[in-house]
Structures are given as structure tokens and as C-alpha cells.
Amino acid sequence: MKIFPMLAAAAVLLTAIPLAHAQTRVTIKSAASSSSYYVAIVQIGEALKAATNGQIVATIEESQGSVQNVKEAPRRPGNFMFTTPPNLLDAARKGQKPFEGETGHDQTRTLFVMPPVTVHFVVRADAGVDSFADLAGKKFIPGGRGTFCDGRTKAILKELGLEGKLDLVETEISGATNALRNRQVVGYTTCSSHPTPAVVELATTTPIKLLSFSAGQLKTLVDRDPLSSPVTIAAGTYKGVDRDVQTVGMPVGMFTTTKTDDQTAYTVTRQFWAKRDEMAKTNAFWAAVKPDQIGAFAGTKLHPGALRYYREIGVTVPASMQ
């Protein structure tokens, strides 16, 4: 019997056929573990694994925010995915602060829509702060140091005529809730989809308020920043906050780079939207996202794999994204 030649032929055949159950690994980087975006990314990772019977396995990485995500993207190999508001991508491509001298940001590609970021101005209920003007002269943490939220908070304060009037404490967002509890600051800003887990937890132990913009303040902020839009945090979202809070929000997307292969981008995008309704049963913020909102990221081209999916389901894609 010619057993050895048969075995050799079988070995050649096996190497020529892809394994049906080969795993594809992706890395998804989002935000601090105390944010709703980290919770959302963990949920996406679990949904992708379930939807593909384990063929796509996601490694979830915590980050200090969108600025870190954008900075890392050009340097990361393989299937790297990350969240950010689109204005940071525009700044990175233009080499604007804080991305001076960096290259490779033209390789970023869009995948899908994330829940929009909601700006929360959180203060202790007993701090004597009932309006933004009351923040003058007080210690306040403007989001995590060097993050998108930090920059957005300072821009808002400038538009409200409060630039230089607060005692801003530059620190990591992870320490903000303890600083508020311990009366080291009167409050802080956090930028995340609501309800934000860290604020929910804080409100259960420490009476808080959320500062609300007036109609005039909202108009000013939206007029000055076309990406901003009014957002209402409904009464009762957080313990002790018994009235609607008027604030602003910005779109957030899931992005990748040209290093991600087309089939992986297609599968991740298709399975994300297939699982969206199921994920919304656990976290209501998913109900706010729809495929036709992809145009909010018109400044960043779609990944070819994602573009294939949107064409399949009949979504109109801006020419700038194709």
C-alpha cells in the first residue's frame, strides 16, 4: 500500500483549503472603563463573537479617550478599531493641535455609527452652583486631561464668556468622582452617552446636580459648532436630578484603518447592525443609532468592506465617503 504518498497528498490538500473555523481577531479601543462607551464596546465584542460563532474575537482595550484613540490608530497593526467624534479626525488629518507633526491619519476609514456623546456638567448639590456663571472662581475638572472632553469643555466655557474665570484642575477623569465626593472640586465634565455608569454610581451616594444650558446658550453653542446638537437628559435619568437637563451632544463613530481587510470590515459592520436591536434591550442608547446616520462622518471615507454592506441595504452614501 502506498500510504506515505496518500498522506502527503492529503497534507497538501488540507493546506490548500482555509479552515472553516479559523478565528479573526480584532482590537477595539474605546474609553475609560467608567464610561458608557466602554460598556458599549464590551457589548459589541460579545455580540460579534455570538453572531459569528466565535470566528470573530474582539480584544477590548480601555483608553483615556478619543484623542488617544486617534493618535494610536496609524501605529497599530492589523484589525484595529476605535471610537471618536469626527472633528478629531479632521484635526488629525490637518495636523492641528494636538496632532502636530503626526502622519498616517489619511488611512482612517469609517465603519458605523455609535451613540452620540452627551456633555454632562456634574456638580455637588450642596456646592451653591445653580448656573454656569456660578462656576466662576471655583475648582472644576474639565474632563480628563488632554481628552476630547477636556477640549470641548474649555471651548464651551469660552463661548459662555467664562474662559479664565474657573480654577480648572487638570487630572485624569478616573479621579473626578472621588474629587467631587471629597469636596476637592465642585464638579467636573464628562462626555459620554447617557446614562453614564460613573454618574449613575456617583448619584446613588452623593447628591448631585447637572447644569442645564439656557435656550440662548444652546443656540450660541450649536451656531458656533455645526457638529453639536441639542440633547435633553430626561428627568430621572440620574438619582436626584428631577428635571430635564438641556445640554449638547456630538456624533461619535466606530472607525478603523486601511490595514483592516475588506471581509473583516464587512462582517463586523453587518453583524453590528444585525445585533443593534438586541443590544438596545440591554442598553437603551443603541436605539438612537441608525444606518442612514452614517453621513455624519462625511469627512472620512467608508472602509470598502463597510461600503459594501451599506450598498447592500440601500443606504445613500455621500460621494465623499465612497
Convert the pLDDT of each residue in 163-221 to its tens digit. 999 999 998 888 899 999 999 999 999 998 888 888 999 999 999 999 999 999 999 99
Q: What is the pLDDT of residue 21?
A: 54
Q: What is the pLDDT of residue 18?
A: 41
Residue 224 CA to residue 159 CA, distance in Å, equals 8
Q: Report residue 6: phi and psi, to 5°.
A: -65, -40
Residue 127 CA to residue 147 CA, distance in Å, equals 25
Q: What is the pLDDT of residue 145?
A: 85
Q: What is the pLDDT of residue 57?
A: 94
Q: What is the mean pLDDT of residues 94-107?
A: 95
Q: How confident is the model at residue 156 (pLDDT cuts 50, 70, 90)?
A: very high
Q: What is the pLDDT of residue 12?
A: 39
What pTM, to 2 d.p., does this model score?
0.79
Task: Convert the pLDDT of each residue in 269-299 to its tens digit.
Answer: 999 999 999 999 998 889 889 999 999 899 9
Task: Convert the pLDDT of each residue in 22-69 to its tens digit.
Answer: 799 999 998 888 788 888 999 999 999 999 999 999 999 998 889 999
Name the CA dihedral angle for 34, 39, 40, 43, rounded to a multiple of 10 degrees. Answer: 170
Task: Convert the pLDDT of each residue in 130-153 to its tens digit.
Answer: 999 999 999 999 988 888 899 999
Task: Convert the pLDDT of each residue in 226-256 to its tens digit.
Answer: 778 899 999 999 999 999 999 999 999 999 9
Residue 92 CA to residue 103 CA, distance in Å, equals 8
Higher pLDDT, 103 or 147: 103
Ordered structural domains, the chain, with CATH = 15-115+253-321 (3.40.190.10), 117-250 (3.40.190.10)
Is the pLDDT at 11 greater than 60, yes or no?
Answer: no
Grid cell digits, residue 103? 502622519
279 bridge partner residues: none
Task: Show the 3-state SS of the chain.
Answer: CCHHHHHHHHHHHHHHCCCCCCCEEEEEECCCCCCHHHHHHHHHHHHHHHHCCCCEEEEEECCCCHHHHHHHHHHCCCCEEEEECHHHHHHHHHCCCCCCCCCCHHHEEEEEEEEEEEEEEEEECCCCCCCHHHHCCCEEECCCCCCHHHHHHHHHHHHCCCCCCCEECCCCHHHHHHHHHCCCCCEEEEEECCCCHHHHHHHHHCCEEECCCCHHHHHHHHHHCCCCEEEEECCCCCCCCCCCEEEEEEEEEEEEECCCCHHHHHHHHHHHHHHHHHHHCCCHHHHHCCHHHHHHHCCCCECHHHHHHHHHCCCCCCHHHC
